[in-house]
Each structure stands twice: as structure tokens, then as C-alpha cells.
Amino acid sequence: MTNPFKLLGISDDVVNAVKDLGFENPTPIQEQAIPVLLEGNNDFVGLAQTGTGKTAAFGLPLLELIDFKSNKPQALILCPTRELCLQITSDIKNFSKNISGANVVAVYGGANIMQQLREIRNGVQIVVATPGRMLDIIGRKAIDFTNVKYVVLDEADEMLNMGFQEDINDILSTTPDDKKTWLFSATMPPEVRRIAKNYMDSPTELTMGTKNTGNVNIEHEYYVVRARDKYAALKRIVDFNPEIFAVVFCKTKMDTQDVAEHLIKDGYNADALHGDLSQQQRDKVMQRFRDRHMQLLIATDVAARGIDVNNVTHVINYSLPDEIESYTHRSGRTGRAGKTGISICIINSKEIGKIRQIERIIGKQFTKAELPTGFDVCEKQLFSLVHKVHNVEVNDNQIDQYIPRIMDEFAELSKEDVIKRFASLEFNRFLEYYKNAPDLNASADDRGERGERGERGERGPRRSSDGYTRLFINLGSVDDFTRGDLLSFVCNNGKIAGKNVGKIDLKGVYSFFEVEDASVDALFNNFKDIQFNNRGVRIEKSGDPAESRSGGGGRARSYSGGGDRRSSGGGRREGGRREGGNSGGGFRDFSGRSREDRGGRSSGGNGGDRRRRS
């Protein structure tokens, strides 16, 4: 049987490459766009959601149209973010792996420009770029676009949202008039229409699905809670979905950081992705999410643009986006490549109108969902555990030697008793955590801030520092620490629980963190002779030295590391393995045991402890 990509007009080398990637059949957008684009003589507008196979839809035809005997840039692909730029470059490299002489370069900010210039000098046919860096390189007269025949504007709506309109104009003005422009966009606001009008000549238009319609594989749900119960609601949703692998969207960087920190402290595998992180930190966070070493990625809209991670089960809108159009981009992070996904909004009753607006834009109805009760969560977790136990891979070689002793221990128990005990080990913790769990669903007339407070364990992120002492530590972002890393470093070395740590203020060469007053002495007692990268680590009770130039702020106590090197549970990357924080090799579970107990990596922080908080 002839390969369906071949039937569309793709050559053997490329067909074999996509076969190696597991592409058996073209996606609908590929099926429709490839034959049109292969003609090579049309401008093109494709209205398509992310995750529909857009990259191959334009990438495969480009590979057929480019002359790889020449080493001059012939195609320029512009996209809004570094992440997307790297993704497209990697996809096209994969598609072209069997074409000799094919060269693709990724041009994006925040990376060494010299390396990019070198690659360009060595000769490339396809340039994948973010607008800012591309302009920089054009400004240096380091690239010649006179042979460009195709320009692809990917996620055009996002590029405009991010203010790249002028940069795009400037870049396009350096390309030949007779080039063909292919524009892809998830939505078609008037500004994108204007680009199509200004830069294109009677483009062929293809719409995948209905205009502005969300992906059909995504279900949309909303939960109405009081504003102050949002965090508790988030946790409940996560607890009710033991296998969740989600992107949680917040409106501001601060919220993102705040929610991530609280989740980490509460024992979840989470981290934040926002614009205040260095590129290196963002890459690190994304890599861990891609590798599924992290369960919950808490992100701002801007930081999450272009994220292409398959198998995301849920998108959670912790706050609704200001721009209703952004909802389509957010929800498009799930339900990718034919998979199903759920997009959840946690809202207060004043925001129902906004849900109706989104419904009109995506052309789909939301389901109003009820937050599960504490009992529902316990039951769900119990059966998830039962399922895991049933399916666990048993290492007979290792375990056999212990079986006689184990059987001895259980000699007087029936099979049912043993099972009950194993199950209770987990179930009891959940029951305890959720025993007084309030109903978090807000009634229609709840207006956000009224109502009784529920149990402490489910309260929202704490902002107040009452009862906390602010401490200085001579480690910071230059040591490649995230807040999560610092939290686990402090907890592991100071032998205190994550729940006893308050706000963490990560600076460059130093940082501040708050510790509950009652835990300060224990922290100081344990935190002696600690080293990091052969450097003594120092903590001090203090005001901010940078802020208190007068010398005030009472550095009452100071312990400097520097004696014997003590093996520290929180040491990072020793032996080449990252430890601590939320970087565990797998999802959080509810055992309350450390990852070492489970033969995995240290979960650091307060993994598992959170259920005992009530």
C-alpha cells in the first residue's frame, strides 16, 4: 500500500523520515494544506489550532520546494517564541534527516549570537527565527535574504499579541517581493486579517474546523468557588486526578510563583515558568516537564507560548485570561496530536459572564462541574493505589530473599487483613487530611470573599509573614537555584519541613527566606558546616544587607559552613543527578515516604507531609 504522505506528493526521503517519527497518516490539516503548498506558487492562510500537525503541514512542502544544492537561505519561518523556534527547527531537522546537504538554523534571543552567525555563515537553506533576534542579525548585515522564496508566519496572532508587528514589517521588507507568504494562526482577529491583506496576493485560505473553534478533542469545564478557596480547589482537582499532567495558568508572574511555591511546599511535583526566570532556568523547567519529572507546570500566558508537550491531560485556568482569545491558546496545550484533554476554569461567581463570552468564541459549551468532596478524593486515591499495587512490576530476584521474613511477619494475618492494612497505610493519611474538608463549591450568590474559612491545610497561598523570621543565605540564582531548589536545600540541610518555610525571595548571589519562628533554632542548630560547590554556605538572621546599608537589621547569629564536608540530602547535582525540591523522578504519590524509600530520587521539601496538616 502506498504511503499516504507519498500520495500527497512527498518524496521518499521525507516519507521515510516521518515514518521514523511514527507519523502513519497525515492529520487533516496536512491532508489539505500539503497539496496546495506543494504547488509553491500561492500565498496561503491556514486557520489552525496548535497541536494539529501544522509544522509538518508547511515543513514537508518546504522540503520539496527548496534547492538543497544551494546553500543560500530560501525559506524563513518566523514564530513568536524561542520554545516554538526550537521546536520547529527540531521538527524540520527530523523531517529532512535523509536529505543530504539540508541545513536548518534556529535564530532566537537569549542564546549566543556568535554561534548562530557562524551557522548562517556556513550556509543554510531554512532559517527559523523569532523576530527580535532576526532583526538584530539583519541589522548586522549578516544574512542575505535575496534568495528567499517562502516566508512562513507561524502563530501569527501570537506574534501580533506580543507586539512584533513592526519587526515583522521590517524583516519582510528585506525579502524579495515575489516570495510566497504562508500564514498560520489559531485565531483570526482583524490585525491578522490586515497582515494577510497587506502582504499577500489572493491567498488560498484553509480553515481547519470552524473559525476560532477550540480543538474538538478538548472538553471545557468550570468550577465556581469563593475567591479565597481557589488554591484549595486547585489542590482538590489535582488530588482527584492522580495521573494528572497539567499546565496551570496564572495571570501574573507573582501569582505563578506563589502558587508553584505553595504546591511545592505541599508536596506536589510543580514548578513555575515565567518571564523573570533566566532562559537557562526556563529551559531547565521545561525539560523536566517534558521528561514528565514534573506533574504541574504553573505558567504565565507569555511563558507558556509555544509549549509543545504531548499528553498534557489538563489545562487549568487558575485565573481567566484578560484577553478572551488567549483561552484558545491556553486550552490548546492539551488535546494535542489526536489525544483528548480537559480545560478547566476555576472561577468565582462574578466571572460566569466571561465563561459565556469564551463559549461564544470557541463555539463550544462549558460543563459546570462540582468540586469533589473530601471523601470522593479519598476514594479515588485509594483505588488509584489499588490499581498501582495490582500492576506494579515485581522484581523477583531482589524481593525473593525477603519473602520468608515478610511471610513470617504476616503469619497470623489473613490475606484480607494484609490487604486492608496495606490499603489503610495510604487511605488513613488521606482520610485524616480530608476529614474536615469543607464543600468548596460556591453557591450562586457567593460573591467572592464571604463565608467561613475551611481547614488550614486547604487555605490559599499565604502572603502574611506574621510569625516568621526572615533569614539571609549566601546562595541565589547565580548558583542556578530556583525557589524550589532553595526550599529543598534549606529543608534538607536544616532538617525542617517545607511547611515551616514561608516566602522565598531569590536574589542573585544571595537570597532571603522566611522560617516559622518556632523552627528557627532547629534550623540554625542543624545548619552547620554546610557546603555547596565547595563553598561554605552561610545563613544569618537578618534584614536585607542590600537594603540595610546602615548596618542595622541585627545579624544576631551566623553560621558559616567550611569545616568538614557533610553529606547533605539537599545537595544538587552531586554525582551528576539533580536532587531535592520538586525534581523527583516521577509524580508525587501519597505514600508520605521519601523518594529514596521508593527507590527514586529525593522529593525534598515536604513531600507527603501535607496530608497531616489540618
8 Å CB contact between 82 and 304:
no
Distance, in Å, from the CA atom of 83 to the CA atom of 103, rounded to the nearest integer, reads: 19
Quote the least distance from Cβ 311 to ligand AMP, whole Å. Answer: 10
Q: Which residues contact 56 (CB under 8 A, 6 or more apart)?
A: 18, 23, 26, 27, 30, 91, 95
Is the alpha carbon torsion for 599, 600, 605, 607 positive or negative?
negative
Per-residue contact flags (x/-) with ligand AMP for residues 268 to 307, judged by CB under 6 A? ----------------------------------------
Q: Which stretch binds ligand AMP (CB under 6 A): 49-57, 192-200, 252-260, 393-401?
A: 49-57
Q: Which stretch binds ligand AMP (CB under 6 A): 22-30, 362-370, 472-480, 568-576?
A: 22-30
Whichever of 51 and 561 has its CB closer to ligand AMP, that residue is 51
Among 43, 158, 308, 540, binds ligand AMP (CB under 6 A): 308
- The reply on whether position 55 binds ligand AMP by CB under 6 A is yes
Residue from 303, 190, 180 nearest 250 by CA: 303
- The reply on whether position 329 binds ligand AMP by CB under 6 A is no
- The reply on whether position 54 binds ligand AMP by CB under 6 A is yes
Distance, in Å, from the CA atom of 545 to the CA atom of 44, rounded to the nearest integer, reads: 58
- The reply on whether position 257 binds ligand AMP by CB under 6 A is no
Q: Which residues contact 456 (CB under 8 A, 6 or more apart)?
A: 613, 614
Q: Which residues contact 41 (CB under 8 A, 6 or more apart)?
A: 180
Quote the least distance from Cβ 184 to ligand AMP, whole Å. Answer: 9
- The reply on whether position 180 binds ligand AMP by CB under 6 A is no
Which bin fits 81, alpha (ψ -120 to 50), beta or left (φ > 0)? beta
End-to-end alpha-carbon separation of the chain, Å? Answer: 63
Give the number of other Cβ atoms within 10 Å of residue 571's Cβ: 22
Distance, in Å, from the CA atom of 29 to the CA atom of 263, rounded to the nearest integer, reads: 38
Q: Which stretch binds ligand AMP (CB under 6 A): 24-32, 362-370, 508-516, 530-538?
A: 24-32
C-alpha separations of 453 from 126, 372, 378, 436, 493 in Å: 58, 18, 21, 12, 34
Whichever of 52 and 257 has its CB closer to ligand AMP, that residue is 52
Quote the least distance from Cβ 476 to ligand AMP, whole Å. Answer: 36
Three-state secondary structure call for residue 422: helix
Q: Which stretch binds ligand AMP (CB under 6 A): 54-62, 106-114, 434-442, 464-472?
A: 54-62
8 Å CB contact between 493 and 525:
no
C-alpha separations of 463 from 32, 255, 500 in Å: 52, 11, 14
Q: Which stretch binds ligand AMP (CB under 6 A): 48-56, 127-135, 292-300, 403-411?
A: 48-56
- DSSP annotation of 366 reads P
Whichever of 53 and 604 has its CB closer to ligand AMP, that residue is 53
- The reply on whether position 336 binds ligand AMP by CB under 6 A is yes
Quote the least distance from Cβ 336 to ligand AMP, whole Å. Answer: 5
Distance, in Å, from the CA atom of 594 to the CA atom of 612, rounded to the nearest integer, reads: 15
What does the radius of gyration of the chain's CA atoms come to, in whole angstroms?
27
Number of residues near ligand AMP (by CB under 6 A): 15
Among 99, 162, 337, 352, binds ligand AMP (CB under 6 A): 337
Whichever of 53 and 608 has its CB closer to ligand AMP, that residue is 53
Q: Which secondary structure element, helix H or strand E, spans residue 233, and what is its range? A: helix 230-240
- The reply on whether position 348 binds ligand AMP by CB under 6 A is no
Quote the least distance from Cβ 165 to ligand AMP, whole Å. Answer: 24
- The reply on whether position 603 binds ligand AMP by CB under 6 A is no
Whichever of 51 and 341 has its CB closer to ligand AMP, that residue is 51
Distance, in Å, from the CA atom of 391 to the CA atom of 533, rounded to the nearest integer, reads: 41
- The reply on whether position 56 binds ligand AMP by CB under 6 A is yes
Pairing of strands 218-224, 341-347: parallel
What is the phi/psi pair of residue 367, to 5°?
-100, 130
Pairing of strands 535-536, 531-532: antiparallel
- The reply on whether position 589 binds ligand AMP by CB under 6 A is no
- The reply on whether position 102 binds ligand AMP by CB under 6 A is no
Pairing of strands 538-541, 558-560: antiparallel
Whichever of 217 and 614 has its CB closer to ligand AMP, that residue is 217
Q: Which stretch binds ligand AMP (CB under 6 A): 53-61, 256-264, 364-372, 449-457?
A: 53-61
Q: Which stretch binds ligand AMP (CB under 6 A): 26-34, 107-115, 278-286, 389-397?
A: 26-34
- The reply on whether position 52 binds ligand AMP by CB under 6 A is yes
Q: Which stretch binds ligand AMP (CB under 6 A): 19-27, 36-44, 420-428, 553-561?
A: 19-27
Distance, in Å, from the CA atom of 78 to the CA atom of 195, rounded to the nearest integer, reads: 14
Quote the least distance from Cβ 266 to ligand AMP, whole Å. Answer: 32
Whichever of 90 and 147 has its CB closer to ligand AMP, that residue is 90
- The reply on whether position 23 binds ligand AMP by CB under 6 A is yes
Upper half-sphere CA count for residue 278 (Cβ side, 13 Å): 14
DSSP string, 386-416: HHHHHHPPP-HHHHGGGHHHHHHHTTTS-HH
8 Å CB contact between 241 and 259:
no
Among 46, 53, 332, 484, binds ligand AMP (CB under 6 A): 53
Three-state secondary structure call for residue 163: coil
Distance, in Å, from the CA atom of 160 to the CA atom of 183, rounded to the nearest integer, reads: 12
Among 51, 73, 80, 484, binds ligand AMP (CB under 6 A): 51
- The reply on whether position 27 binds ligand AMP by CB under 6 A is yes
- The reply on whether position 334 binds ligand AMP by CB under 6 A is no
Among 15, 33, 44, 50, binds ligand AMP (CB under 6 A): 50
Whichever of 27 and 469 has its CB closer to ligand AMP, that residue is 27
Among 310, 340, 365, 428, binds ligand AMP (CB under 6 A): 310
Quote the least distance from Cβ 14 to ligand AMP, whole Å. Answer: 12
Q: Which stretch binds ligand AMP (CB under 6 A): 8-16, 45-53, 268-276, 297-305?
A: 45-53
Quote the least distance from Cβ 51 to ligand AMP, whole Å. Answer: 5
Please give the residue ranges that form the binding site for ligand AMP (CB under 6 A): 23, 26-27, 30, 50-56, 308, 310, 336-337
